[in-house]
Amino acid sequence: MPVVFFRNAAGEAAGGSSTLRILVATDCHLGYLEKDELRRSDSFDTFEEIFSLAEKHNVDFLLLGGNLFHENKPSRSTLVRTIEILRRRCLHDRPVQFQVVSDHAASLQNLFGRPNFEDQNINVGLPVFTIHGDHDDPTGVDNMSAIDVLAATGFVNYFGKVDIGSSGVGHMSIHPILIKKGATSVALYGLGNVRDARLSTMIQTPGAIGWMKHESTEDMPLSDWFNILVLHQNRIKGSLDNGINERLLPDFLDLVIWGHEHECLVDPKEVPGMGFHITQPGSSIATSLTSDEAKQKHVLLLEINGMKYRPTNIPLKTVRPFEYAEVVLEGQTDVNANNEASVDAHLDKVVANLIEKNETTAGSGSEPKLPLVRIKVDYSGFLTIHPQRFGQKYVGKVANPQDMIVFSRSAKRRQNTQENVGGSGELNTNELNQHTLEALVAESSLILQNMQLLPLDDLDTALHVFVNKDDNLAFHSCLQKNTEEAINRLTATKAGTDIEDEDAMVAHGLDQFMQAREKGRTQTPTTSTALSAFQELKCSSDPDQDSRHDSNELIETSDGECHHEKTAMPGKRPAPFPATARGRKTDLASFRAPVVKEEVDDRGAKKGRPSPHVAGRYGAVRRKR
């Protein structure tokens, strides 16, 4: 039975000293469209509202699920405005009612090694905990992000930042932040954004991810901790190529807060057979203008007492209204396939209806905002109109007149067009699939054959960071990390062998290095095999079970008991994955170039210097002079 909170005359919950109250928000995208005079303040207005809701509901701390900033390198204006909001909202005399009992240095990314509210030089009344997303992830040689700036200034507590290595499967240890408030104990795990393909491989590789836990005691066994995971990834339920399957997460979790996905699915839903729930608050601002973003935006008020929690959905009122519609021109009686004017007139009616709908549903705010309008038009068999010219008629009526209309063609129509084009041998540039730079690099057989030390995946990542994150040191960082790893392998090889010739030692070390890397790639489990093997270890449950709960009820989490044989004691949670540590030691002295001695002929004259290019096993090697 769910626990019921009894209210006293003051309106506060009885036994509230043990109730941990958390306000959860994800994907704030601060600084989005900062050069648009009309929409530049939208993200900051909603960010201010989130803090107002935190103060209104008297939460213990604010939890953010990544993508606090929209740009990897936010402008000075965006960064200063963010710091102003955090300083005004977080620094005050309100006492913090909970404590962190874990090793701060292992779970928090800051130089001072403690949460900001435990710093005597900073008077923090509302702590903020956050991970990074794919927009504000750490990059560069020092692996820093804009969130590191906020953590260094003491305004946020940054966690979930891990280093998984530069090549191979990699390894990471995820340390929780252990929070206690009265009789409530919460283990807060965080994982910032990692490339989906690599994280999926790591999850399926035994021992690649170490989920660290505190020591179990008689007073506080592992089963009495409420485990929360905050992550920022693409969420999928089928193929593992473009995201993370929720069933691959460890089953000792009780609640998963999923960031990155902008669709608001804030109601916690249980994953069948896993024993934990997933909540997806969605973004607090519309950026992609899709049908998923047209839903009402919410934040989640999470109240935890012991091993039970109560979710409350709170709608955001400062979000700019967004109206979305899909139109298929085929079958419309008032549209002529060969007349652009009829298409224009029909879309005018659609836009007028959306604007009227927004006016009738708008709240009683003091200053209503112009709505965003997006119409996806299937124009198969019809002439199109100029989207920008069409939008000029709605300047001052909608917030995005320049991109209101998006034209698309049905899948059947595209297939017929491609068949016709293939027969004639002529290609229409509008029908070509756009390839990413990474795909073009991957298709180059020359690179695949000649690259010996730099993995193609790392080059793809560096290229993505260089283009999308505007990081000029992306390739330098990639080269530095892989060079350091190769030197460490070669140093270990020389120390463990009796090879005296340096060239032979280098060749032998490179052979072992490449064999180890190739072995790591070939031993990576396939998606279908790993997923089926993983699912066999889980319990089956009724897929039709309704996991929705009323917001006024407490949800009791289950441990997901299985009928399979286990090595752990009955009633205990599974032990964490074994954690391994990998140290690095570099001996650059052993790689000094040999001294080239000058030779003389029979007459005492110096012979010509040898060519600096000496043919070796791995191509020409240029000697140092």
Could you confirm whether 135 is annotated as catalytic? yes
Measure the CA–CA gap between 20 and 304, rounded to whole angstroms: 5
| 88 burial via Cβ count (<10 Å: 0-12, 13-18, 19+) | exposed
Residue 393's CB is within 10 A of a number of other CB atoms, namely 14
Q: Are 175 and 124 in contact (CB under 8 A)?
A: no
3-state secondary structure 522-557: HCCCCHHHHHHHHHHCCCCCCCCCCCCCCCCCCEEC
Measure the CA–CA gap between 150 and 82, rounded to whole angstroms: 9
Alpha carbon separation from 304 to 4, 83, 308, 591, 604 (Å, rounded): 12, 29, 6, 58, 90
- Exactly one of 104, 135, 262, 464 is catalytic; name it: 135
Task: Locate the DSSP E strands across 453-587.
Answer: 555-556
The closest alpha carbon to 79, from 89, 68, 88, belongs to: 68
The dihedral sign for the CA sequence 82, 88, 93, 95: negative
3-state secondary structure 353-411: HHHHHHHHHCCCCCCCCCCEEEEEEECCCCCCCCHHHHHHHHECCECCHHHCEEEECCH
What residues have CB less than 8 Å from 486, skipping those under 6 apart?
Answer: 453, 510, 513
| 338 burial via Cβ count (<10 Å: 0-12, 13-18, 19+) | exposed
The closest alpha carbon to 163, from 575, 481, 483, belongs to: 481
DSSP at 520: H
3-state secondary structure of 197: helix
- Side chain identity, residue 221: P
Measure the CA–CA gap between 175 and 160, rounded to whole angstroms: 8
Q: Are 554 and 312 in contact (CB under 8 A)?
A: no
CA angle 92, 96, 98 (to 5 degrees): 165
φ, ψ for residue 248, nearest 5 deg: -90, -5
CA dihedral 60, 65, 66, 67 (to 10 degrees): -90
DSSP at 569: P
3-state secondary structure 60-115: CEEEECCCCECCCCCCHHHHHHHHHHHHHHHECCCCCCCEECCCHHHHECCCCCCC
- Report strand pairing: 99-100 vs 177-181: antiparallel
Q: Are 304 and 311 in contact (CB under 8 A)?
A: no
- Report strand pairing: 298-305 vs 277-280: unpaired
Q: Which residues are marked as active site?
A: 135
